[in-house]
Structure 1
Amino acid sequence: MEAAAQEQQNKSRVVKVDSVESWETFVSQANNQGCPVVVHFTAIWCMPSVAMNPLFEELASAYPDVLFLSVDVDDVKDVASKLEVKAMPTFLLMREGAVVDKLVGANPEEIRKRIDSFVQSIRVYVA
C-alpha cells in the first residue's frame, strides 16, 4: 500500500506553490494559455485542510485542462494575504488572473459542484 501511495504522490496533478515567484509564474502561464486555475490554500496544521487533499487530487485528475495549485499559507504568506485568504481551507477559482469564485471551508460536495460549473462555463466560453 505504501508504494502505491508513493506512486500516486509522484503522479500528482496538483502543483505545489512554494514561493511568490512560482505563484506568479504558474498564474501568468495559465493566463497566457487561457487555462483556468483552482487554488487550495492549506496548512499542514489544519486538519480539515489536509483532509481535502485527496479530493483536490481527484478533481485535478478529473479536469486535466485546469491548473490545480496548492498553496501552504505558512510557506507563501504573501500570496495568501494578497488574496485575502484568512481561513483554511480556502479554494479560489481564477480565470485570467481574476478570482471568479471563493469557497471557504472543507465542503467536498460544494467544492465539487463549484469547480464543475466553473469548468463548464469556461468550456462553453471557449467553444
Structure 2
Amino acid sequence: MEARQQISKSRVLKVESGESWESFMAQAKSQGSPVFVHFSASWCVPSLAMNSYVEELAMNYQDILFLLVDVDEVKEVASKMEVKAMPTFIIIKDGTPVDKMVGANPEEIKKRIEALVHRSI
C-alpha cells in the first residue's frame, strides 16, 4: 500500500484514501518537506494533460513531495481542501495550505514552485 512506503520525493505518489492522505501529510510535516498536490479527475482532459508535467516537476524538485488526488476516488480529501474545479494545485507547507492554483497553467505552476523553493532556502 502506498501509505506504508517510504516517501520517495522523486515521483508523484497517488493518494488512495483519506488515511493515506493523513499519512503523507504527517510524514512530510515531520521531515519538513513542502507538498505539491495535483487534484485531478479521470474525466478531466486538462488534468490528465498535466500529469506528465507534474511528473517532470517531481523529478526536478526532489525536496518537495508531489501527490496526486483523484477527486472521485478520494472525495473526503477534495472536500476538506475545498477543491471545486479540476485541475487544482495546492502547495502545503508545515501542514498548512500556502498556495492554490486552479487550471492547467504550467508556467504559473513552475513560477510558484520556484518561489516556494527560494523561500525555503
TM-score by structure 2 length?
A: 0.90
- SS state at 1:50 partner: helix
Return the match for 2:53 from 12, 35, 55: 55
The aligned counterpart of 1:110 is 108
Deviations 1:49-80 (A, max 9, x none): 00000100000000011100000000100000
Q: Any stretches of 5+ residues in structure 2 without a counterpart?
A: 1-9
The aligned counterpart of 2:92 is 94
The aligned counterpart of 1:36 is 34
The code of the aligned residue for 1:21 comes to E
List, as ranges, runs of 4+ consecutive aligned residues in structure 1 with deviation greater than 3 Å.
Answer: none
Structure in which a larger fraction of residues adopt helix: 1
Distance in 1 (alpha carbons) for counterparts of 2:102 and 2:117: 19
TM-score by structure 1 length?
A: 0.86
Deviations 1:6-65 (A, max 9, x none): xxxxxx710000100000000110000000000000001000000000100000000011
What percentage of residue pairs aligned between the two structures are identical? Answer: 63
Distance in 2 (alpha carbons) for counterparts of 1:100 and 1:45: 27
Root-mean-square deviation (CA, aligned residues, Å) is 0.8
The structure whose Rg is larger is 1
